Amino acid sequence: MAYALFCNEARLSKAYPTEADVWKVARQSGLVMDVRPDQDRGTEPMLDNEYEIRRCEPEPQEDPIRNQLEADRESPFSS
């Protein structure tokens, strides 16, 4: 099973192999905010607006691992 970024029922991103991969893409896209729920826990990442990360089936011709490798290559933060 793969993961993708959704807003309401619409899938907005490619499918990726892990939830962490989608978090990385969402952060690079500016959709992640750091919020401080209380002083003891520090900051926690939270998706902006009504975005959420959910499990999904990849499209028939889609390869989540290839999507992840491409995202890593295109990332300005990759080494």
pTM of the model: 0.82
Domain carrying residue 25: 2-74
In a domain, residue 79? The reply is no
* Confidence grade of residue 23 (pLDDT, cut at 50, 70, 90): very high
> Which position has the higher pLDDT, 79 or 60?
60
In a domain, residue 57? The reply is yes
In this predicted structure, what is the pLDDT of residue 79? 45
Q: What is the largest CA-CA distance in the chain?
A: 46
Q: Which residue reads 């003891």 in tokens?
A: 40
What order do you get walking across the sheet with 2-7 strand by strand? Answer: 10-11, 2-7, 51-56
Q: To 10 degrees, what angle do helices 64-74 and 19-28 make?
A: 30
Domain count of the fold of the chain: 1
Mean pLDDT of all residues in 54-58: 96
